[in-house]
Structure formats: C-alpha cells, structure tokens
Amino acid sequence: MTIIDIINKKRLGKELKREELEFAIEGYLDNSIKDYQMSSLLMAIVINGMTESETINLTDIMLKSGDIFDLSKIDGIIVDKHSTGGVGDKVTLVLAPLLASLDIKIAKMSGRGLGHTGGTIDKLESIEGFNVNISKDKFIKQVNDINIALISQSDTIVPADKKLYALRDVTGTVESIPLIASSVMSKKLASGADVILIDVTVGRGALIKNLKDARRLANLMVKIGKAYRKPTICILTSMEEPLGYAIGNALEVKEAIDTLKGNGPDDLLEVVMTLCSIIIGATKKISNSEAKKMLINQLKNKKAYNKFKQLVEAQDGDITNIKVSDKAFSIKSEKEGYIAKIDALRLGEIAKKIGAGRSTLKDKIDYEVGLVLSKKVGDYVEVDEELLKLYLNKKDVSIKEILDCYTIVENKIDKPKLILDIIK
Ligand code: URA
C-alpha cells in the first residue's frame, strides 16, 4: 500500500478501507507521509466526500491517536460543549458557569481561535493571570471541588486532529462535513464527558453556510456519538450576524460577565438558555419551562456570576483586571434605515486584522482590541448615529471597510430566527 494509491482511490471517489485510513493518519503523524501528500488526500476528501462508515473509521483512528481522558474520578454527570465556530461566540463563557452553579459538572477542553472565528482559550487569557494549562490532577480535583474547569486542548489528546486541523486551515480543506465531524467528535470522545452538546453554527460567519449541510453534519455527529454510547445533542444556530454585541477577546469576556449578572444581549441569552435547558432536561429530568426558570434565577441571584469568579480565582486569574484598549472610535452610519445585514464573516476578519485573532498559529493576539456593535439586524439607524465602537491599539482598519459590512434598507426588517433546529 502507498499513499499515492490511497490518494488516487479517493480522487476516483471510492470508499477507503480502515487499513488505508490508518496507513494515511499514522504515516502523517510519524512524518513518513508529507504535508503535500496529506493536503492532496484532504482535498480529494473535500471534493468526493466520505461514506458514513469511512467517517466513523476516521474518527476512531483519530481518537486513538493519543491519550483518552479518564474522568471516572469525577462524581456525577459530566457535560462537554463544543461550537463549530463563530464571530462574537462567547456562549461557553456564560453556559459553563451557569450550569456549574446548578451542580452540573463541566470538564471542558477548549480551543484557540483560528481564521475569522474566536476561541474560548484566547478569551480566557485576556483575564490577567488566567492559567489555561493546569495539570490533569488539578483539573479533576477542581471539577470535583467547584464543578468547573476550563483548559486548553492538550497536546497529547487527539494529536492527529491538531496536525490535520493546522494543515486544513492553510490548504482550503476546512469546509468538509466528514472532516469537521471527525475532527469535532474525535476530540469530544477523547475528552471523556458523559454528554456531548454541539452548537452547529450556520451562515456567513460560520464554516457551514446552509441549513441542509448543517443538518447533515449534525446527524452524522449524533450517529458517531451513538456508536460510542455517548448521548450527543446538536443545536443549529444562525451565524449570519455576530452573536451578541462584542467581538474581540477582553470585550467578549466583559459581555459574558454582564450576561452572567443578568444584563446580557437577547440573542446570546437565547442560545445559552436553549443549550442549558437541553442539558438540564437531560440530567435533572425536569421540563423545559422549569429549567428556564431555574436558569433565570441563577442569573438574577448572581450565583452564575459567582461561579465564574470562583473559576477565575481557581485558575489564578484576576477578574478585576481585564483590559480593554482606551483608544475607542465611534463609527457612524452614512445612511438611514433598517439594518438588513451585518456581515459576520467580514467583521470577524476585521477583528483579526486589528489584532484580535491570528493569521498563523505563531501570531500574538492583542486581547484589548475589537468591536462593539451598537445596532443589530432589524434595528433602525439614523444618519450620523453610531453603528459600532472600534477599539484599536497598534493596527488600523478603514472606516469604509467597516461600513461595507452593513446593508441598510428602507423597509422594516424582522429580527432573524436564531435557533434553527435541534438534532439528537
Ligand atoms: N471545529 C473543530 O474542532 N474542527 C473542525 O474541523 C471545525 C470546527
């Protein structure tokens, strides 16, 4: 067997056997298969797809490429949550402490941002001192003691995904349903949680652009979860405009804190409430409306915020020290009318350009910069009224580039639907 035979087989649209997939992944990890050969195979997969059984085999091979976390020393049901990525997506920062404040165990490994989407780990590091690299023993003890720990993806868990994802990111091979499903599910299965919750984002600002593909991806991930007897629930959420108002690391943490104190934006709250009620329904066996009441109570009585504070302290962070740039500029509308579109993809790219994200894994992030929207889709804006505030430090962006992200029309626009489907 050679890698060239395997590439040719996939190029012709044929199904790869488990041994062939093993040969490709193992060879890539031990460097006997080169980046250019793996890129070629990945592109053949993007173009010709994979069958369900190929995707399940690929997930299993990736899952077994490194350590599998044993969380059996944590008492109770452990929940893990993942998002396929978005702009302004600070859901984990709100959802995790909110559920932990209700005695649900959150043992979560998160990722960094890449491309135009942000990552939870970068956001947490905008809190002075926050340590995302605590030891495995401390991680388990902390979840047992305070119900929550959020750490960075370890190098020894699913190394195949780490290497493949970095290659996919620079070879135009990210947007493939079997590759996304195997990447997400191998990590979630290796992380050892009992229940897996996945937010599949759909739209301009997401990796998956339409509902049909999002449903295919969700059904595939639910099926993979079933093969490992891990209940997997996918919620499909719209990512046409950014989620909430803030984009950028420290700015998003501040918005998450406001939300935990009961003052969050409606769209962010809707996603958090929907995801949390599903988990509470699954773990505490109560109705959706009872779950929502409990959750709202935890925000009002500040228990969710206090849990976040406890998490930050446990991981050496200083919650009073989250710096945002003091160079803030107001961007005003040149048109009046209803906001029909805010291009999440382009705003995410602008945030990256001013330093909130990286173009390569080695770039250093500027935690203090970003954008805060003043208006959302459906809102009315007057000429000279503020559309957003821009927080800059070293890098700049043109006003025209920002204004081009907005479509403003004469006729009234309805607020877009946010929760598009739930698949389990
Ligand atoms: N998130 C992941 O972890 N993997 C992908 O391939 C896409 C989104």
Q: Is the pLDDT of residue 85 over 90?
A: no
Known catalytic residue at 396: no
State the average pLDDT over residues 189-201.
Answer: 93
Residues at CB less than 6 angstroms from ligand 1: 84-85, 165, 179-180, 183-184, 207
Q: How far is the CA of 398 from the centre of ligand 1 (A)?
A: 31
Q: How far is the CA of 326 from the centre of ligand 1 (A)?
A: 34
State the average pLDDT over residues 330-344.
Answer: 97
pLDDT tier, 236 (very low <50, low <70, confident <90, very high otherwise) = very high
Which residue has the least CA distance to atom 3 on ligand 1?
A: 184
Q: How far is the CA of 83 from the centre of ligand 1 (A)?
A: 8
Which atom of ligand 1 is nearest to 179's Cα? 6
pLDDT tier, 361 (very low <50, low <70, confident <90, very high otherwise) = low
Known catalytic residue at 323: no
Please state, for a pLDDT cut of 70, what percent of the chain lies above it.
100
Q: Is the pLDDT of residue 42 over 90?
A: yes
pLDDT tier, 409 (very low <50, low <70, confident <90, very high otherwise) = very high
**In this predicted structure, what is the pLDDT of residue 77?**
87
Burial 329-354 (b: 16+ CB within 10 A, else e): eebbbeeebbbbbbbbbbbbbbbbbb
Q: 197, 80 in Cβ contact below 8 A?
A: yes
Q: Is the pLDDT of residue 308 over 80?
A: yes
Crossing angle between the packed helical segments 35-48 and 18-29, to the nearest 10 degrees? 140
Per residue in 257-295, pLDDT (tens digit) is: 999 999 999 999 999 999 999 989 877 778 888 899 999
Widest Cα–Cα separation across the chain: 66
Given 82, 162, 188, 346, the catalytic residue: 82
**What dihedral angle (degrees, nearest 10) is formed by the CA atoms of 92, 172, 364, 252?**
-30
* pTM summary value: 0.92
pLDDT tier, 155 (very low <50, low <70, confident <90, very high otherwise) = confident
Closest CA to 351 of 239, 238, 205: 205
State the average pLDDT over residues 140-162.
Answer: 91
Q: Is the pLDDT of residue 359 over 90?
A: no
Known catalytic residue at 35: no
Which of 65-74, 359-368, 375-384: highest mean pLDDT? Answer: 375-384
Known catalytic residue at 14: no
Please state, for a pLDDT cut of 90, what percent of the chain lies above it.
83
Given 80, 89, 122, 161, the catalytic residue: 161
- Rounded Cα distance between 148 and 120, Å, is 15
Q: Is the pLDDT of residue 121 over 70?
A: yes
Known catalytic residue at 343: no
Q: Is the pLDDT of residue 253 over 70?
A: yes
Which atom of ligand 1 is nearest to 168's Cα? 6
**In this predicted structure, what is the pLDDT of residue 282?**
77
Which atom of ligand 1 is nearest to 183's Cα? 4
